[in-house]
Amino acid sequence: MKVGVFKFSSCDGCQLAFFDLSEEILRLSEKLEILYFLEASSKNVYDSFDISFVEGSISTQEEIERIKSIRERSKVLVAIGACAVSGGIQSARNFENYEEVFKEVYKDLEMENVLRNAYPISRYVKVDFSLFGCPINSDALKEFLISTLLGKSPMEISYPVCLECKRKGNPCVVVLKNALCLGPITRAGCGALCPSFRRGCYGCYGPIDKPNIDGFEEKFGKIDEAIKVSFNAFNPTYRGVFYED
């Protein structure tokens, strides 16, 4: 199985999941060959791929052209992490005044081909599978690789973080500390990391399908500006899923 790992506008954090699995990948080397991975190797072959993993959002015209080229060369395209799946932190600019933000950051610098908005890769190409999170969980990546090698459908998680808390025996931080926790409406997959350390989930895996906003608001009251920031810190293109302006 020929694999490519690609980066677009992002922090590189999701690619580190591959390094966490370095021993497992070495054991699978007879069945899995990573042809292209700039973060890991100076020798890269940009050829055809059975699977391409893509980190990062699309933020420039060049990236639009590059993601389309990768799609054409790939049998399966996997979006990894919040940036690739839903735009990531950089797509927060989609809801601000682009010129003001750009001048504040870059002063007198002029940049060509920078898009006014940053979008997930699914806006431009077909995505076959998504691994959620900021960053992704290496266990989820491992499960995907092994399932694919065995010819099985990878597991797709659609239940909320609360279920992971129950499995781990975590006391509910809402009950224990009356803390704001997005666990009831956030997709699981992190292993309930934040609630395990007695703090509320802040939604980095994005929303579950059809989140119960009415029930959430009944508990926490009107969604104010501070909560909106939590909802959209990692998954800004879900704006309107969690709440409406």
Q: Give the position of tokens 């906003």.
A: 213
End-to-end Cα distance, the chain:
46
- Share of residues in the chain with pLDDT > 70 (%): 91
Please enumerate in sequence order all residues whose Cβ is within 8 A of that of 161, keeping only pairs 6 or more positions apart, or say none: 182, 183, 184, 186, 187, 188, 190, 192, 195, 201, 205
Question: pLDDT by residue (tens digit) across 31-89?
Answer: 999 999 999 999 999 999 999 999 999 999 999 999 999 999 999 999 999 999 988 88
pLDDT at 228: 67
Mean pLDDT of 119-137: 95
Mean pLDDT of 12-26: 94
Give the per-residue pLDDT at 227: 65
Least confident of 28-42, 97-111, 154-168, 199-213: 97-111
Q: Tell me, what's the pLDDT at 224?
A: 63
Split at pLDDT 50, 70, 90, the class of 103 is confident
Residue 80 burial by Cβ neighbours in a 10 Å radius (0-12, 13-18, 19+): buried
Least confident of 1-10, 91-100, 125-134, 195-204: 91-100
Upper half-sphere CA count for residue 18 (Cβ side, 13 Å):
24
Mean pLDDT of the chain: 89
| Coil, strand or helix at 173 | helix
pLDDT at 244 over 50: no
In angstroms, the CA 134 to CA 89 distance is 10
- 192, 220 contact by CB (below 8 A): no
Give me the pLDDT at residue 231, please. 67
pLDDT at 238 over 70: no
Burial classification of residue 172, based on how many CB atoms lie within 10 Å of its CB (0-12 exposed, 13-18 middle, 19 or more buried): middle
Give the max Cα distance, the chain.
Answer: 55
pLDDT surpasses 60 at 242: no
When pLDDT is cut at 50, 70 and 90, the band that residue 245 belongs to is very low
d(CA 65, CA 46) in angstroms, rounded, equals: 15
Among 209, 216, 233, which residue's Cα sits nearest to residue 174? 216
Query: Does residue 57 sit in helix, strand or coil?
Result: strand
Establish how many alpha carbons lie within 13 A of residue 125's alpha carbon, considering only the half-sphere containing its beta carbon: 27
With cut-offs at 50, 70 and 90, classify the pLDDT of residue 210. confident
Tell me the three state secondary structure of residue 89.
helix
Place of tokens 């691994």: 131
CA quadruple 104, 238, 143, 146: dihedral sign: negative
The distance of Cα 116 from the centroid of its chain, to the nearest Å, equals: 21
- pLDDT in the model for residue 22: 92
Token pair belonging to 157: 């998680």
> Is 109's pLDDT higher than 80?
no
Section 132-151 average pLDDT:
94
Residue 38: which residues within 8 A CB-CB, separation 6 or more?
A: 5, 7, 44
Per-residue pLDDT for 93 more than 70? Answer: yes
Say how far apart CA 17 and CA 138 lie, in whole Å: 5
